Amino acid sequence: MGKYYRTEIKTGVISGQYERLMENEAAVLDPYFTGDNLNTMLEIGPGMGVFSALMHKKYQPVLHLIEGGGSDAAPDPQITVGWKDKAPVPCADIEALQSFLFENGIINFEILELLPDWTYRLIKDDKPALDTVDLADAWPTVKYDLIVSLRSWCWHYDADLYLDFVAGRSIPYHTLLLVDVRRDHGQPEKLFQHFNLVKEIQTGRDEWKMARLLMRAK
């Protein structure tokens, strides 16, 4: 799927294996969607965009993504989870994310970039970044069929960070949320205020401290 991949150098996972892993993780959604009912998708923390690209290949939804802008400093190759050819790049690299999507024929997407000062700016396809916006004002009329965040939103941050935004962009009894959430500090309970559990998905990784939940909006 192009020369950009997010991978895990510490465990020796190469790009082809990572793509197959993402295919398996995306396949859990197959029973719930067809090309007719997955029209809009939001991914929080897409990294290089492999999961979103695979979903787009199957269903062609309009893609909206929320990602941090990364650092200008050279990434540490021992901790980075992004690669361009043989060179490490930051996981939250907006340029790499855009390039990956374009190289895989995806042109209808928008990125809400989280800036270092915790403000946001909206980037549409390859157009220059627009003025900064408040999170609450991003995509105000859009409702999502699917919202995904794997090892990002509820893994690195408190669920409160995006919970109101996600709940407000969900369609009751329709929107599916696929999310990795820490089991401690009441994080799952916060999600249960707005979503019902469909199933817990076994990943075989860090399950003692993290749950992968498939949920549906109340």
Answer yes or no: is pLDDT of 75 > 50: no
What pairs with residue 177 in β-bridges?
147, 215
For the ranges 164-168, 189-193, 205-209, which has the lowest average pLDDT? 205-209
Q: How far apart are the first and last CA of the chain?
A: 36
For the ranges 8-12, 31-35, 88-92, 151-155, which has the lowest average pLDDT? 8-12
Pairing of the two strands 109-114 and 62-68: parallel
Which of 1, 111, 107, 123 lies closest to 46 in space, CA to CA?
Answer: 111
98-128 burial code (b ≥16 CB/10 A, e <16): bbbbeebebeebbbbbbeeeeebbbbeeeee
Helix 15-27 crosses helix 50-59 at what angle (to 10 degrees)?
A: 50
pLDDT at 16: 56
Amino acid occupying residue 162 = Y
Answer yes or no: is pLDDT of 91 > 80: no
pLDDT digits (tens, 9 = 90+) for 103-126: 888 888 999 998 878 889 898 866
d(CA 39, CA 21): 24
Domains of the chain: 4-217 (3.40.50.150)
**What is the percentage of the chain residues whose pLDDT exceeds 70?**
78
pLDDT digits (tens, 9 = 90+) for 130-140: 678 899 999 99
Residue 139 zone, left/alpha/beta (φ > 0; ψ -120 to 50; rest) = left
pLDDT at 92: 64
- pTM for the model stands at 0.84
Mean pLDDT of the chain: 81
94, 120 Cβ separation under 8 angstroms: no
